[in-house]
């Protein structure tokens, strides 16, 4: 379940700060888009291969690719998923132990 929150500005300074933050975020995303989009192809590629080609850390590239996924600039598929490990008592899985490998590609136009 997602909830949409609408924010209203109390003062003109708050509105200006919010717009500045949005502009800064857009410039940041555009910079990463310009670096990663030329590396993407219509074929599936692992995020680690894209990171190596970009000369960046895999975790950082994965984070940026997930941002691009939210904006529908790339497609993702999970190719290898390892479920969370159970605790020693076997009751509940440990948090943050699940791992998966994802591949990304440019979106395919459906005809």
CATH topology for 12-105?
Arc Repressor Mutant, subunit A (1.10.10)
Going from N- to C-terminal start, the domains of the chain cover 12-105
Sheet containing strand 75-82, strands side by side: 45-46, 99-105, 75-82
> What are the structure tokens assigned to 34, written together?
């310009």
The Cα 72–Cα 108 span in angstroms is 11
Predicted TM-score (pTM) of this structure: 0.63
Q: What is the pLDDT of residues 22-81, one digit of tens each?
A: 777 777 778 888 999 999 999 999 988 999 999 988 888 988 899 899 989 999 998 877
């Amino acid at each position: 379940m997602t909830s949409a929150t609408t924010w209203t500005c109390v003062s003109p300074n708050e509105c200006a700060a919010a717009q500045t933050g949005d502009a800064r975020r857009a410039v940041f995303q555009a910079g990463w888009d310009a670096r990663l989009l030329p590396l993407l192809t219509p074929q599936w590629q692992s995020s680690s291969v894209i990171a190596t080609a970009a000369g960046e850390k895999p975790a950082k590239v994965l984070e940026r690719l997930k941002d691009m996924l939210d904006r529908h600039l790339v497609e993702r598929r999970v190719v290898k998923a390892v479920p969370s490990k159970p605790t020693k008592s076997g009751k509940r899985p440990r948090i943050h132990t699940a791992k998966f490998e994802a591949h990304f590609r440019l979106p395919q136009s459906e005809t």
